[in-house]
Amino acid sequence: MKKKSTIFIFLLILMLTFLTGRGNKMNSEDAKTKAVQELDYLDTQIISISNKLNNIILDNYTITSEEITLEESGSGSSNSSGGSSGGSSGGESSGSSSGSGSSSQGGESGGEQEEPSSKQESASSEQKNNITITKMESETVLDSDENDIDWSSIKNEIDILNEAWGVIILDLSNLNVENNNILDFSSTLNDSILSIKDENKIDTLNNISKLYSFIPKFEKDISSENGMQNVKQAKSYVINAYALVEQENWSEIESNISECEQTFKNVTNNMEYIKDKEYKINRTYVLIKELQNSLTYKDKKLFYVKYKNLMESINTI
């Protein structure tokens, strides 16, 4: 009997150990999945801020809403007509051969209706309808004004990103992400906030591109998927080049795009990773080469056009 109890306790401990280990493993996987989603959020927000510094929109159109106010004039016109008709009716009765009593009654009736009708007309003319008109407006890089920056919108976005970072930093720390990278990201985020506060375009471009450079590092620490790490790293080189266009530092731009092309080759050679997305990856590689070839012109607008096409494609991977 004692031997059976010992075996039972041993089996119970073994089962609890197995379930605890499995639970920890599942929790760890869930935490990694959440962290990857948070990095995708940072990716989207940082690129959005960067693009707004040159009024580049990755969609081919924007949806705008405009509220207009319409006054109701039809009802007032109808009431005015009614009042006039009442007055005319009274006048006709007064001039008829049916007698002065009837004429007097008709005149009084017309007079009594005229005042309410006038009030109703006034109230009706004051009635207004607010209508919201939504329309799609085409957006092209060639027509955009990179000097007309919506700093208010950018300040709002960096404020939202800063609030989100307060949560993300805890999740990354729990996954043993390199602490120095986390601290450096926080420091760069502070620099970004200050340059945006001062509405300094060049400093903001540089700080935002540096901010994005930490995403591939975070991705490497929490995921073993080399394919996505290389995609993020390639994007980081493109954003570095984009940040340098304002200063027209074409030698450094060429260097970054060359690094991007070499990094993305690792993605195209990863047969396991590309099997479900081969078309998107091949298209993105072609667009990297397109951007690379356009650099011989050393033209800012041409770069932005090719950059926009590339970012639209690489974001779909």
**Averaged over 228-256, what is the pLDDT?**
97
Asked if 97 and 180 sit in the same domain, the reply is: no
Domain count, the chain: 2
Closest CA to 228 of 178, 174, 280: 280
Q: Does the pLDDT of residue 20 top 80, yes or no?
A: no
197: Cβ contacts below 8 Å, ≥ 6 apart: 155
d(CA 244, CA 98) in angstroms, rounded, equals: 96
Picking from 39-43, 86-90, 126-130, which range would have the lowest pLDDT averaged per residue?
86-90
- Output the pTM of the full model: 0.70
Say what the alpha-carbon torsion angle 237, 243, 249, 255 is, to the nearest 10 degrees. Answer: 0
* Rounded Cα gap, residues 257 and 210, in angstroms: 16
Q: What is the mean pLDDT of residues 298-304?
A: 97
Q: What are the tens digits of pLDDT across the range 56-86?
A: 998 655 555 667 776 655 544 444 444 444 4
One domain, residues 203 and 290: yes
Average pLDDT over residues 258-275: 96
Domain boundary among 132, 152, 169: 132
Both 149 and 292 in one domain: the answer is yes
CB 50 within 8 A of CB 226: no
- Residue 203 and residue 105 share a domain: no
Q: Which residue type is seen at 4?
A: K
Radius of gyration of the chain (CA): 35
The per-residue pLDDT of the chain, averaged, comes to 80
89 and 189 belong to one structural domain: no
Q: Is the pLDDT of residue 306 over 90?
A: yes
Across the range 115-128, mean pLDDT stands at: 51
The answer on 155 and 114 residing in a single domain is no
Handedness of CA 245, 247, 252, 256 (dihedral sign): negative
CA angle 313, 258, 140 (to 5 degrees): 40
**Residues 222, 187 share a domain:** yes
In a domain, 17, yes or no: no
Among 112, 132, 152, the domain-final residue is 132
- Between the CA of residue 313 and those of 58, 168, 229, what are the distances in Å? 10, 27, 17
Can you give the pLDDT at residue 79? 45
Cα atoms in the 13 Å half-sphere on the side-chain side of 217: 15
269: which 2 tokens?
Answer: 């050679």
Q: Which residue reads 């009635």 in tokens?
A: 127
Contact 128, 69 (CB under 8 A): yes
Our CA angle for 228, 234, 239, nearest 5°, is 125
- Higher pLDDT: 4 or 299? It is 299
Residue 107 belongs to domain spanning: 70-132
Confidence band, pLDDT 50/70/90 cuts, at residue 89: very low
Q: Over 60: is that where the pLDDT of 16 sits?
A: no
Place of tokens 């620490």: 221
Strand, coil or helix: 144: coil
Residue 239 in contact with residue 212, Cβ under 8 Å?
yes
Task: Examine residue 21 and state whether it is found in any structural domain, yes or no.
Answer: no
Q: 316 by DSSP, 3-state: which?
A: coil
Quick one: which of 293, 263, 243 has its CA closest to 50?
Answer: 243
- On whether both 259 and 209 belong to a single domain, the answer is yes
Establish if 272 belongs to a structural domain.
yes
**Coil vs helix vs strand at 276:** coil
